[in-house]
């Protein structure tokens, strides 16, 4: 008799309880009856119906939607109870551990999933926790790639989704605390781009920059998976540095391709020489192709799409074999020693193809994975195409999302419910074989042995894509309506369905990006009118003369226009210091010369320091109120003379001394106003806030 999906699952679970057999054995007996084998030939096209002998009804969709929701809260609650504020949960021992930088990573990654599931209250509460706990100035080495896609991407998505949550802050969508935190984190990653090629280091210290002994070897994906988050940062904030460095990195990487248009796996970011020359679409390379396509769509960059098509032509010629993708030499196109190998990370490819309209090929490749889903319920990390067995030592399933990601895209493009049946198998397999008392674990597909890790992407990606498969009415699927929001520059249409996921499944709204990008462009145009009046420079000069030469003063804000002015000055300073070519790498010899020059300068300023001490001594000797009083007197005179208002109190802070063993933290810091005295700023009708540092 024909069994429904629910009956099949119950049979499978009972068999597990009674016999304690492996996932492979269960899925062979339950989901792979002999009379269905022929239906799953990899050459079958969409027109050739694949009948799993069961129907997948609307009621089934509702049931699996709720099952996925319950799986999320089982893992999310387990993390909060046993692991927060650590990065991730150890699901077998129910304890937390830090993996990518101690940022409460799982919480950041899960923020937007909470809204996808409709939990506005918890989204707001969790967002407050993130703002309270995540710091960007800590002395810790982090992966540029992982920090970008998980932290920066997660914060950007959460910021954009505040409108959906109905709790948007003042100035949204172009301002907000979550956006500011993402911007600060992005700034901490910028020193990684200080290389001869413009391609970033793989690791950076958030406080001190790139260590002088840091390896210049970086994987291809680490170079090419930045444009989504960095260009979004630039267009939301007006800070052009991010989009420029990410674009430069992409261009440099593309220029490094082989004569037959293939890219390798690892590259030296200082020399541009490839150090691992295997070419494929899996680990170490995958999201590079994804970001060319998504970057072209999200930011309307046809040049990126052309780069993708040039690379895709070579992939189809040398890498693809039937509906599998091999690993080949990037110089010759010949299959490498690891060639006939499927990696689960490759399963993103069909989903990406749907974004460029190649739905038929996407469907065919996705159906090629059906045998693995039928056999195990989820794909192993590595699968030997020739032997049709998991690769020894790489036979685990770490709760990866790629195969269900492609299911979601292809299902949305085709409406074929066979895909929902496959997705239901994945849900049942995860819940049956990976569930623990406090979460879900990595699991070996043949033995069923669990490993003590639940990566944050399980809640950010896997659960989200599964839920979206069964929830046709989710707001992320909306492509027919939107809403109008008012900004300082006029009205914008947002949330109209133009969502693009980054590679961590964090959704970014094209409408919001376009809205803020237009606003910032108008701000830059208005700044052209702010360059004739020297009054602000006079105020800064008065403060400097009074407080002494060792004090630094920067303009923190002049209403909205000054923020954009500050960004424009940073961009101008980059161009002045480094030109339009790639940024030169600053070696230790330069730092040494700078230190010696600074020492000589301080010796010559000794007399000036003695005079200054009459106004400012150590913080322990002079009360804060006396400082504010002195500053207030100066500012008051300036206000009376100029007829403009300055916001008080000013902020006074000390700079921390950098460790000498690190290279210069960033090439993007602004020169002091005294050094750039010729920069004239008009502040007519503006509100000014000054920041002082000693």
Q: Catalytic site residues?
A: 146, 286, 381, 402
At 453 the three-state DSSP class reads: coil
Does 436 show up as a binding residue in the annotation? no
Nearest by Cα to 214 from 686, 677, 585:
585
Contact between 399 and 434 (Cβ < 8 Å):
yes
Total count of residues recorded for the chain: 694
At 84 the three-state DSSP class reads: coil
Q: Give the C-alpha separation, 517 to 302, whole Å.
A: 18
Tokens of 375: 């056999």
Tokens of 590: 């330069």
Q: 646-683 burial, b for 16+ CB within 10 Å, e for fewer?
A: beeebebeeeeeeeeebbbbbbbebebbeeeeebebbb
Tokens of 506: 């964090």
Enumerate the β-bridge partners of residue 382. 343
Nearest by Cα to 129 from 204, 79, 75, 73:
79
Tokens of 339: 């060639």
Q: Give the C-alpha separation, 418 to 407, whole Å.
A: 10
Contact between 432 and 424 (Cβ < 8 Å):
no
Q: What is the largest CA-CA distance in the chain?
A: 98
Q: Where are the alpha helices (DSSP H) in 434-558?
A: 457, 463-470, 510-527, 535-547
Residue 31: partners with Cβ closer than 8 Å, 6 or more residues away: 8, 373, 374, 375, 377, 425
Q: What is the dihedral of CA 416, 420, 425, 428, to 10 degrees?
A: 180
First to last CA, the chain: 82
Q: For the chain, what percentages of helix, strand and coil (3-state, to nearest 5) are there?
A: 50, 15, 35
Residue 340: partners with Cβ closer than 8 Å, 6 or more residues away: 321, 324, 326, 384, 385, 386
Give Cα separations from 480 to 126, 376, 477 (angstroms).
30, 38, 9
Mark the binding-site residues for Ca(2+), compressed into ranges.
Answer: 503
Mark the binding-site residues, compressed into ranges.
Answer: 503
């Amino acid at each position: 008799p024909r069994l429904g999906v629910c009956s099949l699952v119950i049979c499978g679970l009972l068999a597990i309880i009674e016999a304690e057999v492996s996932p492979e054995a269960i899925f062979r007996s339950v989901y792979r009856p002999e009379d269905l084998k022929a239906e799953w030939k990899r050459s079958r096209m969409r027109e050739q119906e694949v009948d799993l002998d069961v129907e997948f009804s609307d009621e089934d969709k509702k049931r699996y939607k709720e099952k996925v929701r319950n799986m999320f809260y089982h893992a999310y609650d387990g993390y909060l109870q046993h692991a927060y504020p650590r990065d991730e949960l150890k699901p077998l021992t129910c304890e937390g551990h830090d993996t990518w930088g101690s940022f409460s990573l799982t919480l950041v990654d899960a923020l937007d999933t909470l809204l996808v599931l409709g939990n506005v209250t918890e989204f707001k509460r969790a967002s407050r926790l993130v703002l309270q706990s995540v710091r960007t100035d800590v002395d810790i080495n982090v992966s540029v790639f992982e920090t970008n896609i998980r932290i920066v991407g997660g914060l950007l998505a959460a910021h954009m989704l505040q409108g959906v949550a109905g709790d948007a802050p003042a100035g949204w969508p172009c301002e907000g605390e979550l956006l500011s935190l993402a911007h600060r984190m992005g700034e901490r990653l910028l020193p990684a781009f200080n290389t001869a090629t413009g391609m970033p280091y793989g690791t950076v210290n958030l406080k001190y920059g790139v260590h002088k002994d840091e390896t210049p070897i970086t994987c291809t994906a680490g170079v090419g998976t930045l444009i989504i988050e960095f260009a979004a940062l630039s267009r939301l904030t007006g800070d052009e540095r991010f989009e420029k460095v990410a674009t430069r990195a992409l261009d440099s990487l593309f220029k490094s391709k082989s004569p037959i248009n293939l890219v390798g796996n690892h590259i030296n970011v200082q020399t541009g020489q490839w150090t691992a020359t295997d070419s494929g679409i899996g680990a170490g390379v995958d999201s590079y192709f994804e970001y060319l396509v998504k970057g072209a769509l999200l930011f309307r960059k046809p040049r990126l799409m052309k780069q993708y098509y040039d690379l895709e032509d070579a992939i189809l010629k040398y890498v693809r074999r039937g509906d599998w993708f091999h690993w080949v030499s990037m110089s010759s196109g010949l299959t490498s020693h690891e060639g006939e190998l499927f990696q689960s990370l490759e399963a993103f490819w069909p989903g990406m193809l749907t974004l460029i309209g190649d739905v038929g090929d996407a469907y065919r490749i996705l159906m090629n994975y059906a045998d693995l889903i039928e056999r195990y319920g989820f794909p192993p990390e590595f699968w030997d195409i020739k032997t049709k067995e998991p690769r020894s030592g790489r036979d685990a399933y770490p709760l990866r999302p790629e195969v269900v990601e492609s299911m979601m895209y292809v299902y949305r493009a085709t409406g074929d419910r066979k895909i929902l049946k496959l997705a239901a198998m994945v849900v049942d397999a995860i819940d049956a074989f990976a569930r623990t008392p406090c979460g879900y674990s990595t699991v070996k597909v043949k033995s069923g042995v669990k490993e003590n890790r639940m990566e944050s992407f399980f809640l950010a990606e896997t659960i989200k894509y599964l839920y979206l498969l069964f929830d046709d009415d989710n707001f992320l699927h909306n492509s027919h309506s939107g809403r109008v929001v008012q900004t300082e520059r006029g009205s914008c249409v947002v949330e109209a369905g133009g969502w693009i996921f980054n590679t961590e499944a964090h959704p970014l709204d094209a409408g919001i990006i376009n809205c803020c990008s237009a606003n910032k462009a108008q701000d830059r145009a208005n700044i052209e009118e702010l360059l004739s009046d020297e009054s602000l420079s006079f105020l800064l000069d008065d403060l400097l003369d009074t407080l002494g030469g060792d004090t630094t003063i920067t303009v923190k804000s002049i209403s909205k226009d000054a923020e954009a002015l500050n960004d424009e000055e940073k961009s101008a300073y980059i161009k002045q210091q480094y030109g339009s070519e790639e940024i030169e790498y600053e070696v230790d010899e330069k730092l040494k010369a700078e230190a010696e020059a600074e020492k000589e300068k301080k010796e010559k300023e000794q007399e000036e320091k003695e005079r200054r001490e009459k106004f400012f001594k150590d913080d322990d000797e002079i009360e804060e109120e006396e400082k504010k009083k002195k500053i207030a007197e100066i500012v008051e005179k300036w206000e009376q003379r100029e007829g403009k208002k300055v916001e008080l109190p000013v902020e006074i802070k000390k700079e921390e001394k950098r460790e000498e063993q690190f290279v210069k933290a960033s090439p993007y810091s602004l020169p002091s106003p005294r050094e750039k005295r010729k920069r004239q700023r008009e502040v007519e009708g503006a509100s000014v806030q000054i920041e002082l540092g000693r």
